[in-house]
Amino acid sequence: MTDGLLGPAQIRDLAARLGVRPSKSLGQNFLHDANTIRRIVRTAELAADDVAIEIGPGLGSLTLGLLTACRAVVAIEVDPVLAGALTGTVRDRVPAVADRLTVLNADALTLGALPDPQPTALVANLPYNVAVPVLLHLLAALPTVRHGLVMLQAEVADRLTAGPGSKVYGVPSVKLAWYAAARRAGAVPRTVFWPAPNVDSGLVAFHRRDPPSGADRVATFAVVDAAFAQRRKTLRAALAGWAGSPAAAERVLRAAGVDPGARGEGLDVAAFARVAAARTQQPAG
Ligand code: SAM
């Protein structure tokens, strides 16, 4: 392979050399299909001056593709063996761009400030069991990230990109919408991974946008969590605990221009922000 990407034989070789036995709890399913890598990199629409942050580089499948498509790559890997081997893999396979890579052995869920250059794009095959919290944490913690493409479980990709009124619209959909406009950007079959997971995957592309004005994120997310904790109830009932009583919830909802008989699944992120803002203007009780 002239572009240095890893196929099935190279992935198994590398894993054997490092003594890696894929860990289920860390969501270690490695991409071993160069065409899928090329498709992900192409769909990520990286500009030559983008700095990509990759979560969970694993054996380096996607990292190798990203390095030739942008200015720099910051790779965050929680597994110390994989983190320690990545620079060597990159030097072996794409030596001309190896100095574009920075590897940090860290947990993406608690990632704080990063060394320069600051990332502008998130591109990752996310570990499935923590994909949503990782995505939301990074959007909050890394305001320089303007766009991205992530791969996750197909069902989770559907949930993240659902709009109000959809059956799968819920907390992840509203919270992602706070930060970004997101869309499904393709399907990925389980066969392109080693080991093959028992679910198919999906791609989600996003572009950051300004959050709704008038309320802060913490206050808005508290309303979202309360509304969907009891998603079949009307907002008047679901938000009673949050507001203090059903009557207080009704007052806040009316002040926000939201029907107290509606359900959370009917509200977009701007409406949730209005409800949060209206609460601060109401007497408690
Ligand atoms: N990017 C590689 C690929 O496509 O072949 C590997 C993707 S694999 C689905 C997920 C990777 O995320 C694994 O390498 C795993 O060790 C790593 N990982 C799991 N939890 C993590 C966390 N909290 N922070 C950073 N990396 C994590």
HEC per residue, 222-284: HHHHHHHHCCCCCHHHHCHHHHCCHHHHHHHHHHCCCCCCCCHHHCCHHHHHHHHHHHHCCCC
Mutate to test the pocket of ligand 1, among 6, 93, 125 (most ligand atoms within 8 A of CB): 125
Q: Give me the phi and psi of 268, to 5 degrees please.
A: -90, 175
229 lies in the same domain as 131: no
67 lies in the same domain as 97: yes
Rounded to whole angstroms, how far apart are CA atoms 238 and 98?
Answer: 53
Domain count, the chain: 2
204 in any annotated domain = yes
Residue 3: per-residue pLDDT: 87
Task: Output the CA 182–ligand 1 centroid distance in Å.
Answer: 22
Residue 2: per-residue pLDDT: 64
- Asked if 65 contacts 40 with a C-beta cutoff of 8 angstroms, the reply is yes
123 lies in the same domain as 62: yes
Collapsing DSSP to helix, strand or coil, 50 comes out as coil
Task: Output the CA 206–ligand 1 centroid distance in Å.
Answer: 20
265 lies in the same domain as 175: no
Tens place of pLDDT for every residue, the chain, 285 residues?
468 999 999 999 999 999 999 999 999 999 999 999 999 999 999 999 999 999 999 999 999 999 999 999 999 999 999 999 999 999 999 999 999 999 999 999 999 999 999 999 999 999 999 999 999 999 999 999 999 999 999 999 999 999 999 999 999 999 999 999 999 999 999 999 999 999 999 999 999 999 998 889 999 999 999 999 998 999 999 999 999 999 999 999 999 999 999 999 999 999 999 999 999 887 655
Rounded to whole angstroms, how far apart are CA atoms 37 and 60?
Answer: 11
Nearest ligand 1 atom, CA 63: 1
Q: Residue 268's domain spans which residues?
A: 217-279
- Asked if 151 contacts 162 with a C-beta cutoff of 8 angstroms, the reply is no
The pTM of this model reads 0.96
Q: Which residue has the tokens 């396979």?
A: 93
